[in-house]
């Protein structure tokens, strides 16, 4: 092989390897993506096993106002700036108590709404503490502009700590879209009283 051909081959090999290194580097997932909660998908009405907990969404309702249902009668009704989306669900922890329950409603167009903290009796309010083997039933409430409710997925997260990195997450597709959704949004309930989460063994 002539010296020219050898150096041309060396240059070609070097450039190829450098290109491959840059390409491989760009495939490394960024920190946010690498530590995202681990999603488990399911449908409304069916038990969904998210490894750390099992969750079943029993029903979803719409309301103009919500209140806390308490021992001393209901608290003051809170009117929605839009509509209240109230989900009733049952959570069972698998192996450890899960005091940090959190939820988001992810719309079909990518808009995300966090569960409201104004209702103390909500499952995300800290009063529920799912323990292994004992199902807890409660509600999660979301305040959403009516025209933003489009094909929502309920993302429920129940964790041992507030750190959500690599935690288990249940993504429940609520199957709410089209005419049926419009009809239900047009006729929300006047008021939903949210009872404290209860154990339903």
Partner 1 sequence: MLWRVAVLLVATAVLGAATLALWATGGLARADATPEKEPGDTVRTAMYTLTPHKAEFVSDDSGLTALQVRADLVSNDTEPLPVGSLDLVIDVGFPSGRIDASALSVKYVRHPDGLVFDIQPDMREEVLMTWSLRKAEGGDGQEQQGDSDNPLAGLGGEPDQGDPFDFDSLMEKPEDVAPLAEKEDEVTLTFSETEFSPGFTDQSKSWKSTDQVAAEMSLPLGQG
In the complex, the residues that contact partner 1 under the rule CB under 8 A are 30-32, 35, 76, 78-79, 81-82, 104, 110-114, 117-118, 143-145, 148
Q: What is each CA distance from 132 to 15, 51, 160, 172, 191, in whole angstroms?
A: 57, 12, 12, 21, 33
The dihedrals phi and psi of 34, each to the nearest 5 degrees, come to: -70, -20
Specify whether the CB–CB gap between 115 and 73 falls below 8 A. no
| Least distance between partner 1 and beta carbon 127 (Å) | 16
Select 56 or 84, whichever has its Cβ closest to partner 1: 84
| Least distance between partner 1 and beta carbon 103 (Å) | 11
Select 66 or 89, whichever has its Cβ closest to partner 1: 66
Alpha-carbon gap, residue 156 to 40, rounded angstroms? 10
Provide the token pair at 138: 């409660």
| Least distance between partner 1 and beta carbon 171 (Å) | 15
Provide the token pair at 177: 């879209």
Alpha-carbon gap, residue 7 to 19, rounded angstroms? 18
Alpha-carbon gap, residue 116 to 118, rounded angstroms? 6
Alpha-carbon gap, residue 104 to 174, rounded angstroms? 13
| Least distance between partner 1 and beta carbon 66 (Å) | 11
| Least distance between partner 1 and beta carbon 37 (Å) | 12
Select 78 or 181, whichever has its Cβ closest to partner 1: 78
How many Å from the N-terminal Cα to the C-terminal Cα in the chain?
Answer: 81
């Amino acid at each position: 092989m002539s010296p020219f051909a050898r150096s041309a081959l060396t240059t070609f090999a070097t450039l190829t390897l450098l290109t491959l290194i840059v390409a491989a580097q760009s495939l490394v997932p960024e920190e946010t993506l690498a530590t995202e909660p681990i999603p488990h998908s399911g449908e409304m009405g069916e038990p969904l096993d998210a490894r750390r907990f099992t969750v079943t969404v029993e029903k979803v309702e719409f309301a103009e106002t919500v209140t806390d249902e308490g021992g001393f009668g209901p608290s003051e009704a809170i009117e929605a700036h839009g509509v209240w989306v109230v989900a009733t669900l049952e959570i069972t922890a698998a192996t450890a108590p899960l005091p940090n329950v959190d939820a988001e409603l992810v719309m079909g167009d990518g808009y995300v709404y966090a569960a409201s903290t104004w209702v103390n009796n909500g499952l995300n309010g800290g009063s529920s503490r799912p323990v292994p083997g004992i199902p807890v039933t409660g509600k999660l409430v979301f305040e959403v502009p009516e025209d933003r409710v489009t094909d929502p997925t309920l993302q429920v997260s129940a964790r041992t700590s507030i750190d959500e990195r690599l935690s288990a997450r249940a993504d429940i597709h609520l199957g709410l879209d089209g005419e049926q959704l419009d009809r239900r949004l047009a006729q929300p309930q006047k008021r939903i009283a949210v009872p404290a989460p209860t154990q339903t063994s």
